[in-house]
Amino acid sequence: MIRPLLPAVVLVAAVLTGPSSADPVSAAAARFAGLAGDVSAADGAVFDARDDTGRTMDTAQIVQAPDGTYLAVYHTTLADGRFHAAVATSTDLRTWTRRHDFGAGTSQPALAADDTGGYVLAYEKDPANHIALRHYPSLAALLTGNAARTFDAPRTLSGCAEGTPDITSVHGGTVELTGHYRADCDTDRQLRAVLRDFTTWHATPDHRLDRALLAWDTGGNIGDRSRIELKGESLVLIEGQRRRGDFGSWRTYAYDPASGRAGREAIRTPGGSRAFANPSAGPVTDPEGRPALLVSLFVPKEESAPGESGELIYWRELAN
């Protein structure tokens, strides 16, 4: 979901249900629901997340560098009317210093460390919306935008748009990722892709994931997603739009890759916002030095409570 809106950051309480059952779809889904629970249970949260220049941090994805620095990649719509992806750093998850703008026409960024001390960045790039990847050999290279290798993926599943990447694995010269494609130039659906040696690209539709979301009557787009591991079990958080063109109908779901089932996150906020999109989650060491689960979601203005629209960032300590 790429529509830019005035941001704020909100806490989430989640209870998972299924199309015919109130039970979570997996143990990982149940654990996530407990960790991403009550507003008052969070160990920290930021509202209206912006970088030090005042840019909104829409669709933020956050990882942690080996030295403990938090790295956020996000996009903002600027005065030129275009998306600009950027990277910012923080030591407390509350204040963010923008370090580099990746340029006009870049959006939906995703970041992952490789196994050599470098980073791979993926984002959606326009015009001719497609997935682009950049390899940075070090943290310093990332923060200055000095890419060592670049790749702009050909659109092979849609003649109109492919984008919203999420990097699931970087090992050796192979990058595995997920994304969406505009099926029949009409509605966003899911894809999986592999990039080898920054030269060879192969993408396939992920019909199984689409079916799991369609079971929830998602008549609009199926878009951004984030794969996480909880207690050794995989879970995919994914956004689905119930009605085409209705930004207030975005919901966040938990998908179990083992069973192929999805459950909806019944999210609560202090004010009662109802729409949630662009989920991202992952483990970090929190500012107090404790293992924690960090979660971010985008809250569209439509169906949001006063003061709750925009990007949320919050974290919860991981109990043993």
pTM of the predicted model over 0.85: yes
Distance CA 161, CA 147 (A): 24
Dump pLDDT digits (tens) for 254-273: 999 999 999 998 777 888 88
Residue 37: predicted pLDDT: 53
User: Based on the number of CB atoms within 10 Å of its own CB, is 116 exposed (0-12), middle (13-18) or buried (19 or more)?
Assistant: exposed
pLDDT digits (tens, 9 = 90+) for 31-61: 998 888 564 578 998 888 999 999 999 999 9
Q: Are strands 310-317 and 277-285 parallel, antiparallel or unpaired?
A: unpaired
Is residue 53 within 8 Å of 75, Cβ to Cβ?
no
pLDDT at 19: 58
Q: What is the mean pLDDT of residues 157-165?
A: 98
Place of tokens 């995919």: 236
Residue of 121, 76, 72, 67 whose CA lies nearest to 95: 72
Inform me whether the pLDDT recorded for 66 exceeds 90.
yes
**Residue 4 pLDDT grade (very low, low, confident, very high; cuts 50, 70, 90):** very low
Higher-confidence residue: 4 or 76?
76
Q: Which two tokens stand for residue 21?
A: 């059952």
pLDDT band for position 9 (cuts 50, 70, 90): very low
CA end-to-end distance (rounded Å), the chain? 34
Average pLDDT, the chain: 91
Which phi and psi (to 5°) does residue 237 adopt?
Answer: -90, 135
Q: How confident is the model at residue 1 (pLDDT cuts 50, 70, 90)?
A: low
Higher pLDDT, 238 or 306: 238
Q: What is the pLDDT of residue 12?
A: 34
At residue 305 the predicted structure's pLDDT band, cuts being 50, 70 and 90, is confident
| Structural contact between residues 225 and 188, judged by C-beta atoms closer than 8 angstroms | no
* Cβ-contact 1, 247 below 8 angstroms: yes
**pLDDT over 50 (residue 16):** no
* Buried b / exposed e along 70-88 (16+ C-beta atoms within 10 A): bbbbbbbbeeeebbbbbbb
How distant is the alpha carbon of residue 16 from its chain centre?
Answer: 19
